[in-house]
Amino acid sequence: MLLGSFLLSARAAALAARAYETLAAKAYTPEEAALREGAAELARAFAVEWATWSGDREEYAARLARFVGKDAAGRAQLPQGVQQVASASVVSLRRDGQDAWTASVLLHVRRAVKPPSGSAGVPPELVAARAQGTAPPGGMQPQETVSVWKDAVLLVEVPVRVAGGRLAVAGLPALAPAEPPPEGKQEGAATRLSAAPDQAFQTFLRQFLDFYYRGEDVRNFVAEGSGVKPLGGWNLAEIREVKADDQANPKLVLVECAVSAPGAASVTQRLLLEVSSSGGKYLVRAVRPAPLN
């Protein structure tokens, strides 16, 4: 019996040691973490320059040359058209060898395209460029050509390696298929909220959100030490949905509302509010983003 217990204890200790070694092998040293961070930032920066073009071949090659050298940049063909990058984020970084990585970079780009045929007019904020065309026969005025911005999302993979002790781009970005996010509802406190708060809380909530988005003083609406500060620059347009954990004394509240600002209307917001109540008075303790489902 004692021998069996000893063998089991020894086996458990061996498994624990092996698990620790596995975790230790996967843990990044400060040097490795710095390399990964540098590789990701280099890939992101190069993807932005690669995906930005406006028809100037020399300017495009000069920007790429800062990452891959003049010879490689000279071989890169300038894409036709006009494209700008609105944002870029590294969504994953895969190690392909001792000194090689592949970074997946998500790009939000804007392209100058012709407006759809039959469109009545182009809003000024969408106009990318205006150009005068050639004059038609009969001495009429030349027709104006208008380009508009069209948004798109790209996922590209950028190879990065260590060369001469320094990080370097190893090749041009390659377009990759964007994988959809996993299906299924997120489990959490928000999924368990189903009660409709009473009218007193609804009134409090509308007043708080109105002050919160307009940037007014919210000290009468928040708990002391909560750290909740007003935003400013927005207006509460409507409250679409309110769910709470309790009708009379809510402690956790899900709010979906729409806000607006100059040039931006009906911007959807989903918030989780932590609330305390005492003697019929409500105070907000925290405001954070709520899950979509």
Q: Mind spelling out the 3-state secondary structure of 74-130?
A: HHCCCCCCCEEEEEEEEEEEEEEECCEEEEEEEEEEEEEECCCCCCCCCCHHHEEEE
Do 270 and 211 lie in one domain? The reply is yes
Tell me, yes or no, whether 89 lies in a domain: yes
Reply yes or no on whether the pLDDT at 112 is more than 70: yes
- Give the count of beta carbons closer than 10 Å to the beta carbon of residue 176: 14
- Give the chain's domain count: 2
CA pair distance 148, 199, nearest whole angstrom: 47
Give tens-digit pLDDT for 51-62. 999 999 999 999
90 and 218 in a single domain? The answer is no
Q: In the chain, what percentage of residues exceed pLDDT 90?
A: 56
What is the SS3 assignment for 32?
A: helix
Domain that holds residue 269: 189-289
Statement: the pTM of the whole predicted model exceeds 0.85: no
288 conformational bin, left if phi > 0, alpha if psi -120 to 50, beta if neither? beta
pLDDT digits (tens, 9 = 90+) for 252-271: 999 999 999 988 889 999 99
Give the pLDDT confidence score for residue 205 in this predicted structure. 96
CA–CA separation, 196 and 249 (whole Å): 11
Same domain, 169 and 246: no
pLDDT above 70: residue 25: no
146 and 55 in a common domain: yes
